Amino acid sequence: MFNVQLKRLPGNEDVQLPQKMSLSASGFDLYAAVTSPVEIGPGQRILIPTGLTLAMPPELEAQIRPRSGLALKHGITCLNSPGTIDADYRGEVKVLLINHGSETFIIQRNERIAQMVFQIVPSVQLIEVDMLTDTERGTGGFGHTGTQ
Ligand SMILES: O=c1ccn([C@H]2C[C@H](O)[C@@H](COP(=O)(O)OP(=O)(O)OP(=O)(O)O)O2)c(=O)[nH]1
Ligand SMILES: [Mg+2]
């Protein structure tokens, strides 16, 4: 179990904290902290505040992912999915939404707009070499193994 600290930004005391909507949900749903309803027209993208800042252990990241219901019903998704929240980021968590639907969608304060999934990020050191290890696949890719 990891502890992640949350801090509300001033003026967001009424905004719901991220919540798991079922016992074993992967993601904590994120609530919009817009001060008034925001319209997203077809094809438009918009950065939605959550009113929250986070501090998580350095071995974690948070991914901001779309909600499939909003995507299916309204074409609303996260443009940069999954969005990356770095462990050392102390700014406001924001959600970049895009409307791929054909109708304007209105985001209300405290509406669930996306979900946040925490992941362990392995510690990796990049080492430059002259020759890589051999494999059976070698350089084959992009459909190299066939389509069936
Ligand atoms: O959906 C997102 C994506 C990013 N961020 C914040 C947290 C993250 O730690 C920071 C930087 O994100 P990223 O590395 O994806 O963006 P960048 O364009 O590479 O910006 P930077 O140069 O600041 O790293 O912006 C969000 O609040 N929401
Ligand atoms: Mg970056």
Is 38 inside a domain boundary? yes
Question: In Å, how far from its chain's centre is CA 114?
Answer: 7
Quote the pLDDT of residue 95.
98
For residue 50, give the CATH number of its domain: 2.70.40.10
Which residue puts its alpha carbon closest to atom 3 of ligand 1? Answer: 83
**Ligand 1 atom with the shortest distance to the CA of 88:** 9
Has residue 140 been placed in a domain? no
**The token pair that represents 130 in the structure block:** 């002259």
Domain count within the chain = 1
Q: Each residue of 52-90: pLDDT tens digit?
A: 999 999 999 999 999 999 999 999 999 999 999 999 999
Per-residue model confidence (pLDDT) at position 44: 98
- Convert the pLDDT of each residue in 3-31 to its tens digit: 999 999 999 999 999 999 999 999 999 99
Structural domain contains residue 132: no
**Ligand 1 residue neighbourhood (C-beta within 6 Å):** 64, 80, 83-86, 89, 93-94, 96
Task: Confirm whether 89 is domain-assigned.
Answer: yes
Q: Which residue reads 């094809």 in tokens?
A: 43
- Are 15 and 113 in contact, with CB atoms under 8 Å apart? no
Phi/psi of residue 69, nearest 5 degrees? -65, -45
Residues 45, 129: Cα–Cα separation, whole Å: 42
Is residue 134 situated within a structural domain?
no
Over residues 88-139, the pLDDT tens digits come to 999 999 999 999 999 999 999 999 999 999 999 999 999 999 999 999 999 9
Domain that holds residue 86: 5-120
Residue 131 located in a structural domain: no
Q: Is 128 part of any domain?
A: no
CB 99 within 8 A of CB 40: yes
Please state, in angstroms and rounded to a whole number, the distance separating the CA atoms of residues 56 and 20. Answer: 17
- Rounded distance from Cα 89 to ligand 1 centre (Å): 8
Q: Would 143 be classed as within a structural domain? A: no
